[in-house]
Amino acid sequence: MYKYVKKLNYPINLDKKDLKMAKLVITQLGGANGELGAALRYFSQKFTMPDERGKALLNDIACEELGHCEMIATIFRQLTKDATLEELKNAGLDSYYTEHNKGIYPINASGVAFTADYFASVNDVFANLSEDMAAEQKARVTYENLIDLCTDDKLRGVLLFLRQREIVHFNRFKELYDFYKKKYN
């Protein structure tokens, strides 16, 4: 079913260490509005879609969100790669280092680990799609906040790309929601 293309959706070649930004960006992997939650949400919800159109859309976007997880992990890794222990401590990443060193682990910017409680999946197409649209909007806002805090143009380009994908996903979910509203009401 899956074909893994060994290429990121957007090239990431960050050459500046930025531990404070790394600590913030990781929230888009493991935070409440992050990519991992989105991928799992859409994958879980696809099974309750009433037709192949809905199942395909949620599956496609779930797969893309996994690609976004890969992008966030790449960003984190590149921003922390050559950091010393002292630099990690000064950036407030000492507790992260304690359990994960510089490995990738899904947490939010405050250090709280990912939980499936961040998303819902119910047997109601309209409830699920409403949640999906809200999730995309919250992720968009988070990317906008990260863009505001970003000082590196290369990283800003990646964040702008990811923000734009949130808008596209919102629009696809809205189209499907409207389609089902006409079809079932």
For residue 128, being part of any structural domain is answered with yes
pLDDT at residue 1, rounded to an integer: 61
Structural domain span for residue 128? 19-110+122-184
In whole angstroms, give the CA distance from residue 86 to residue 176.
50
Nearest residue to 138 (alpha-carbon basis) of 37, 24, 13, 12: 37
In whole angstroms, give the CA distance from residue 185 to residue 173.
18
For residue 3, being part of any structural domain is answered with no
For residue 9, being part of any structural domain is answered with no
Nearest residue to 46 (alpha-carbon basis) of 64, 58, 38, 37: 58
Say if pTM beats, i.e. exceeds, 0.85: yes
3-state secondary structure at position 151: coil
Q: Looking at residues 163-167, what average pLDDT do you find?
A: 98
For the chain, the domain total comes to 1
For residue 1, being part of any structural domain is answered with no
Residue 172's CATH number: 1.20.1260.10
> Per-residue pLDDT tens for 130-144?
999 999 999 999 999
For residue 51, being part of any structural domain is answered with yes
| H/E run at residue 183 | helix 153-184
For residue 86, being part of any structural domain is answered with yes
> Per-residue pLDDT tens for 87-139?
999 999 999 999 999 999 999 999 999 999 999 999 999 999 999 999 999 99
